[in-house]
Amino acid sequence: MKLLKEYIQKNGKAIGPGILKVDSFLNHQIDPNLMMAMGEEFKRKFEKDGVNKILTIEASGIAIGLAAAYAFNIPLVFAKKKVPSTMGDFYTANVYSFTKNKDYTICVSKEFLHPDDRVLIIDDFLAMGNAILGLKSLVEQAGAKVVGAGIAVEKGFQKGGDLLRENGLKVESLAIIDSLEDGVVKFK
Ligand code: G4P
């Protein structure tokens, strides 16, 4: 997506090793025009897939997920990274974070995922693919169907995208980064 790539080139910072800082428009401060445009783009890419729910993960997925949900006019559900004491029955999955080198548990209340759901997973970054696999597991535990994954920034030099596609998942990334060497961002 041209607009996202322009934002990354203009405002993103490649910080080693292999990390792209996008705090000024995506991960900390959020640009609403970019978010809404990304939501529309996800709608174009998945509009024939019968999506009736968006699933993302807190925190940074929520803004993009909301934009996609708004474009489709369907609900957004976000997985939580801590099991709330007020939550009744829930689906959980364990996710290993390669970037942070630790495991965490994600959960969604059983109230918000049902067997007849056709779920589009949305996230800000795709690196090793573990967060997407965890979200996919939550959907499958509910007996629902994952129709695909919409990603803002895929790090093409990490394995996640290939792994998910080889496993038959439809993955659409709005910007795929080939390399982040010497502070220079190169797209595929
Ligand atoms: P994976 O899910 O694809 O396996 O990725 P990984 O464990 O490596 O990612 C863990 C967290 O780091 C995720 O955010 C992900 O969005 C973020 N991340 C991965 N690579 C980059 C990068 O190059 N730049 C930035 N800015 N973030 C990256 P999180 O911990 O869940 O944080 P948040 O959603 O609460 O912000």
Q: Residue-wise pLDDT tens for the chain (188 aa)?
A: 999 999 999 999 999 779 999 999 999 999 999 999 999 999 999 999 999 999 999 999 999 999 999 999 999 999 999 888 876 799 999 999 988 899 999 999 999 999 999 999 999 999 999 999 999 999 999 999 999 999 999 999 999 999 999 999 999 999 999 999 888 999 99
The Cα–Cα gap between 89 and 96 comes to 23
Of residues 107, 105, 160, 183, the one with CA closest to residue 149: 160
Report the separation in Å between the CA atom of 99 and the middle of ligand 1, taken as the mean of its atom positions: 6
Q: Which atom of ligand 1 is nearest to the CA of 61?
A: 34
Q: Which domains does the chain have, with CATH numbers?
A: 2-187 (3.40.50.2020)
Nearest atom in ligand 1 to 60's CA: 34
Task: Please give all residues whose beta carbon lies within 6 A of any atom in ligand 1, as ranges.
Answer: 19-22, 27, 59-61, 97-100, 124-131, 155, 160
Q: Whose CA is nearest to atom 36 of ligand 1?
A: 60
Tell me if 170 sits within 8 A of 122, measured CB to CB: no
Nearest to 120 by CA among 147, 144, 142: 147
Of 99, 158, 187, best ligand 1 pocket probe by most atoms within 8 Å of the beta carbon = 99
Position 87 scores a pLDDT of 64
Q: How far is the CA of 126 from the centre of ligand 1 (A)?
A: 7
Give the number of the atom of ligand 1 that is nearest the alpha carbon of residue 158: 3
Q: How far, in Å, is the centroid of ligand 1 from the Cα of 29?
A: 16
Cα angle 53, 27, 14 (rounded to 5 degrees) comes to: 125
Atom of ligand 1 nearest to the CA of 123: 16
Nearest to 14 by CA among 126, 157, 179, 160: 179
Looking at residue 32, its amino acid is P
Bridge-based pairing state of the strands 13-15 and 19-21: antiparallel
Query: What pTM did the predictor assign?
Result: 0.96
Cα separation of 187 and 173, whole Å? 12
Closest approach atom of ligand 1 to CA 99:
8
